[in-house]
Amino acid sequence: MEQIQLTIEDQHDGERIDKVIAELNEQWSRSQVQQWLKEGHVLVNGKAVKPNYKCHVDDEVTISIPDPEPLHVEPEHIPLDIYYEDADVLVVNKPRGMVVHPAPGHMRGTLVNALLAHCKDLSGINGVLRPGIVHRIDKDTSGLLMVAKNDLAHESLVNQLVNKTVTRKYEAIVHGVIPHDYGTIDAPIGRDPRDRQSMAVVENGKEAVTHFRVLERFDHYTFVECQLETGRTHQIRVHMKYIGYPLAGDPKYGPRKTLPLDGQALHAGVLGFYHPRTGEYMQFKAPLPHEFERLLDMLRNNR
């Protein structure tokens, strides 16, 4: 069991302990941290506290991260579009409609189910339901993901995400015609206080930065490339809505009755990172899926 110790500093005085801990590592969800608190894996000044405990300056916090539980997810022989694989990492092109890891309501047919049938050596850092998963993309987003095959690789790739050295570029179709060619959206993202199932730009959210550039303009839509500097939940979808150009087909953040696509028009086309063992920079590019190309052809023909 790994232990992490920290001292609460001035900027966190009065904040909830679950929020402070969740901000330490973007791979830890707030609900996961709350579960650790309830199970006594987090001590403040040597005592267990509830998730809503308000921190005080100089509080001594000890986090005992539980060892991963034995895996009980069934392997499934689902074809995988693998772009790269060695003993440490695997890069896969996830299709639209596939969930990345099991969750209530989606215990089968996920990328993790497929990975377990493909290889037995996945890192266990993320526990029972997310073996090897370093980062995620949404069910209806297609594109490239990196998978860790051991804990050394997992820790390296997570550190690269935290240090913002991973290249992640997405292609998207958004509503509206963006007049400028380039832009940067620097706006914090957190849970939408009016809808806890959605994310939003909120004052006390986590830092979130998205760079975009226009690839092509149509009569009522724009084809853009978005590059992530951070990796918050639904970041591109939330940021593009925030500046008035929501993603086409987005059932949560976009307008209804849009382009004929089941889900948002978003593809993770470019992924680059440093190999965790050799240090070599590696970059991969996956072409747009056919349904995305058909949308672009339709928009071009309707000019």
The catalytic site residues sit at 138
Query: Residue 121: in which H helix or E strand, if any?
Result: none
Distance CA 135, CA 101 (A): 11
| CB-CB neighbours of 19 under 10 Å | 18
Give backbone dihedrals phi and psi of 72, rounded to 5 degrees, phi first.
-130, 40
Residue pair 199/234 in contact by the 8 Å Cβ criterion: yes
Tokens of 53: 């405990």
Distance CA 200, CA 195 (A): 9
Environment class of 163 (CB within 10 Å of its CB; exposed 0-12, middle 13-18, buried 19+): exposed
Helix (H/G/I), strand (E/B), else coil: 288: coil
- Sign, CA torsion 111/112/118/122: positive
Distance CA 42, CA 138 (A): 30
Tokens of 134: 């370093």
Sorted by sequence, the CB contacts under 8 Å of residue 282 that are 6+ apart come out as 84, 272, 273, 274, 275
Distance CA 98, CA 31 (A): 23
Give me the residues paired with residue 89 across strands.
148
CA 191 to chain centroid, in Å, comes to 15
CA 61 to chain centroid, in Å, comes to 27
